[in-house]
Amino acid sequence: MSGLQIDRLSMRFDLPNGTSVQALKDVSLDLQAGELLSVLGPSGCGKTTLLNIVAGFLAPTDGQIVLNGKRVRGPGAERGMVFQQGALFEWMNVRQNVGFGPSMKGMAKAEKAGIVDHLLDVVGLQDFKDKAVYELSGGMQQRVALARCLANDPDVILMDEPLGALDALTREKMQGLVLKLWKETGKTIILITHSVEEALLLGERLLVMAPRPGRIHKEYRLPFAEMGVGQDLRVVKKHPEFAARREEILSMIWDMEEEIMGRTEAV
Ligand SMILES: Nc1ncnc2c1ncn2[C@@H]1O[C@H](COP(=O)(O)OP(=O)(O)OP(=O)(O)O)[C@@H](O)[C@H]1O
Ligand SMILES: [Mg+2]
């Protein structure tokens, strides 16, 4: 069976002071291979926890993750992660960073060089392959992080706010790149973002989560990611349905934030 099943996942963190936090409760979702899912929700609703469980970094208190018919019991090369920033190896140059996974697998030098070259082409960094990480802009570093992830040829790419630290213009270009990679590689992608626009643009499916306990509040199937492949994303944003969905989801999240604030103030 292919695809990713998130099956009745719950996660409770027991704190040293004897209390506990229900970070996720009964979260279920089926992703087909090649689907692109964006996840939105107020701070603390369990987005990172969900991703960490899918990555195998955390074991859930209940439920399971099944990838291609096999239960996930820890990290694995078939699931690649792209973090918000700072996850590159500072002591390696661009080429070595991208080639890290293939090196670990013991791949022959020539084959590795071919893969690295190809991926640096895909992310537009061929001219920077001998640069050190500190010589790159934030956007370039994230492109290296994407290429490094792809070099492992994972089935699923997990991204936690991958574009969150970038300026608006670079971010828009990177959104286009994520769509291009999605279409060209056919990878299954889960992307967490705080930006409603980004979630709409990049989510073929969009999950809105609610906090305390972290759970699925609403799910959408959207046409914008498909529209955005090879098209100016600003044109997509002008679509009347895009504006309507943006307003709907903004109000939804605003209401949740208000409720959280109300509860905090009442304490
Ligand atoms: N290791 C941990 N120990 C205790 N509590 C934790 C731990 N990790 C997360 N939590 C709690 O679980 C809840 C969900 O956290 P999580 O980081 O998944 O939220 P998030 O949706 O990613 O938030 P943000 O948008 O701010 O990144 C929060 O209440 C958080 O305090
Ligand atoms: Mg988070």
Instruction: Write down the pLDDT at residue 1.
Output: 62
CA 74 from chain centre, in angstroms, equals: 18
Q: 230: which 2 tokens? A: 């090879």
Using alpha carbons, list the distances in angstroms from residue 58 to 1, 38, 55. 24, 20, 8
Instruction: Write down the pLDDT at residue 240.
Output: 95
Instruction: Write down the pLDDT at residue 222.
Output: 97
CA 108 from chain centre, in angstroms, equals: 30
User: How far does residue 175's CA lie from ligand 2's centre (Å)?
Assistant: 19
Give the CATH H-level superfamily of domain 4-78+183-266: P-loop containing nucleotide triphosphate hydrolases (3.40.50.300)
User: How far does residue 190's CA lie from ligand 2's centre (Å)?
Assistant: 13
Instruction: Write down the pLDDT at residue 122.
Output: 87
The H or E element spanning position 106 is none
Q: What is the DSSP string of 186-232?
A: --EEEEE-S-HHHHHHH-SEEEEEETTTTEEEEEEE-SHHHHHTTS-
User: How far does residue 47's CA lie from ligand 1's centre (Å)?
Assistant: 8
Q: Report whether 30 contacts 24 (CB < 8 A).
A: no
| Ligand 1: residue whose CA is nearest its atom 26 | 43
| Ligand 1: residue whose CA is nearest its atom 2 | 13
Instruction: Write down the pLDDT at residue 264.
Output: 63
Query: What are the residue ranges spanned by the domains of the chain?
Result: 4-78+183-266
The model's pLDDT over 58-92, given as tens digits with 9 standing for 90+, comes to: 999 999 999 999 999 999 989 999 988 778 999 99
Mean pLDDT by 10 residues, the chain (267 residues): 91 95 97 97 94 96 96 94 87 96 93 94 92 92 92 94 88 92 94 96 96 95 94 94 96 87 65
The H or E element spanning position 63 is strand 62-67
Of 9, 21, 24, which is best to mutate to test ligand 1, by the most ligand atoms within 8 angstroms of its C-beta?
A: 21
For residue 213, is the peptide bond before it cis, meaning its omega torsion is within 30 degrees of 0?
Answer: yes
**What are the pocket residues of ligand 1 if the criterion is a CB atom closer than 6 Å to any ligand atom?**
13, 21, 23, 41, 43-49, 214
- The torsion of the CA quartet 52, 53, 59, 63, rounded to 10 degrees, works out to 160
Neighbours of 136 (CB within 10 A): 17
Ranges of H-type helices in the chain: 47-55, 94-98, 100-104, 109-122, 138-151, 168-185, 196-202, 224-228, 233-237, 240-266
Q: Kindly report the length of the chain.
A: 267
Q: Report whether 199 contacts 246 (CB < 8 A).
A: no
Residues at Cβ < 5 Å from ligand 2 ion: 47-48
